[in-house]
Chain A
């Protein structure tokens, strides 16, 4: 178990390192010279440009620059936003709460609903409900997330007026206590529903095919031959064996979901990292954009490793086979 955790952590560290390296290389290769922007448009003096270059360490070799970058990152310094001049890490810290709330809520909802539906359909393959849900899972897979969100806004917010169109709280109402939480839930309903609907197909399909596969294995036939009831075979033997792939997929799905969350946040003006990112893109605030990318890469890597270790903990075959 110990060596497994060490191996996975090594991969995780490698991934974070690659993300940092890519980040650095992209800025190096990107067109444009930061000094010409910093020194102003009106015929800056060469001396000033030289001083700025010296100040920001741009005269050093690429290797030295990379080491400097690593050193400042290790201290939690992600640079300063070009536009607001505030530290990027501080700005991201303010925004990460709402994103986490939305991501975790929808991930858990999708996991539960998708797995349950998958199990239900796998036990009745070819039934009407099975066909309907399989068809729907294709349909939701083919939808651009932002478009589904916009359609929901159109239908439930603009036409029916049941849910708010944007934001996390009603700023005019100034709620407190329980009313505040209800207000947040009310605002969260549409973005969370959109994301959950779009993520259910992953869990639905993997659970369904996994259950069907386990059901066709020889030991199930043997159990049937002993006269054990279908319900008992399923609950006691099939379920445990078929639920494992779902856990692995959960880790990978989180990575995809973060993309979805960012875009859905933009559609619903949810005050998280996604809408923040849109600002960073449209104003070309590169330090902020890079900071967001790094934070996301690191959180995805950490999540996946936690899930992997959890998986190995549940299934001994994993930790002994590799």
Chain B
């Protein structure tokens, strides 16, 4: 009973917190809408996004809400199904980057010494590389399947997370409760995984939310270069396909782009909102 009430309190508190911070509120509302759309895509879609219709480049109307593309596919339904692709790529890539960043940063900051110097140097190298071109070459060489795209984006975007986690680990390892853990004989790895990472993870969660935005934009850019997965509908591909019809059918690219902006914006807002929860000082000043 006690625990239940406590849980309710936490829930209420987080709702209050979300309401307090404007960015977080708007971002969460947008995200919930997107999740609903992606889960119930078949309900919302008016046509099969893969089926080629007879009406090519038809203007938006009551049968085709956002018109049709050059192959007669319904743009509205394609955008609805594209939500799944974009969200999946964004979230999986960000998770990969979150796990790698947390582990490498945690190890560097907690163990220090030579390992730290080595990992920091690797970090600096990654920071100074134009990673988008690396992603591009890898996808061009190894194929543009959804898995490849998610993997390579995740593998190249962990630098920021590693830096944050390293700073967290360095400040946490001096704290009394970590000393306490040593004194009861816990192993270093256990301390890292059980105490350091869980206590320092919050800024990484905020940053990872923003990486979702970056990953969605990267996937869109790849699709725009013709390097998207041809087997799924994605927003970047809709924009890419619409480019040839810009003058005769502006609606194809325009609407898909607006959806990308809204989605990316929602993750940015959530990330920024979480950062504000973390540092109320910054919040007051703004």
Residues of A whose CB lies within 8 Å of any CB of B are 11, 14-15, 18-19, 22-23, 26-27, 29-31, 125-126, 134, 138-139, 141-147, 150-151, 153-154, 158, 212, 216, 252, 255, 258-259, 262-263, 266, 277-278, 281-282, 284, 286, 289-290, 292-293, 296-297, 300-301, 304
Contacts and interface: CB of A to CB of B under 8 A. Distances in A.
B112 to A, nearest CB: 17
Interface in B142-198: 142-143
B224 A144 contact: yes
A252 B127 contact: yes
Given A147-B239, A216-B285, A141 B132 contact: no
Contacts of B227: 281
Nearest to B261: A142
Contacts of B128: 11, 15, 255, 300-301, 304
Nearest to A11: B124
A18 B246 contact: no
Contact of B134 (A22, A30, A141, A146): A22
Interface of B: 121, 124-125, 127-130, 132-134, 136-138, 140-143, 213, 217, 220-221, 224-227, 236, 239, 243, 246-247, 250, 253-254, 257, 260-262, 264-265, 268-269, 272, 285-286
A284 B203 CA distance: 41
Contacts of A296: 130, 133
Contacts of B136: 277, 281, 289, 293
B284 to A, nearest CB: 10
B226 A19 contact: no
B129 A144 contact: no
Given A30-B141, A281-B136, A281-B226, A300 B253 contact: no
A32 B23 CA distance: 49
Contacts of B221: 144-146, 259, 263
Contacts of B226: 278, 281-282
B224 A146 contact: yes
Contacts, number: 132
A125 B140 contact: no
A255 B125 CA distance: 12
A177 B268 CA distance: 47
Given A142-B265, A266-B225, A281-B226, A151 B129 contact: no
Given A126-B286, A212-B285, A286-B141, A139 B261 contact: yes
A277 B260 CA distance: 24
Contacts of B246: 150, 153-154, 158
Nearest to B263: A142
B133 A259 contact: yes
15 contacts: A14-B125, A15-B125, A15-B129, A18-B129, A19-B129, A138-B272, A141-B268, A142-B261, A142-B264, A144-B239, A145-B221, A150-B246, A255-B129, A266-B224, A297-B130
A220 B225 CA distance: 50
A147 B252 CA distance: 11
B28 to A, nearest CB: 15
Contact of A26 (B125, B138, B261): B138
B118 to A, nearest CB: 12
Nearest to B129: A297
Contact of B220 (A144, A153, A290): A144
Given A144-B260, A150-B246, A216-B285, A18 B125 contact: yes
Contacts of A134: 286
Contacts of A301: 128
Contacts of B225: 263, 266, 278, 281
B130 A150 contact: no
A258 B121 contact: no
Contact of A293 (B133, B142, B213, B217): B133
Contacts of B125: 11, 14-15, 18
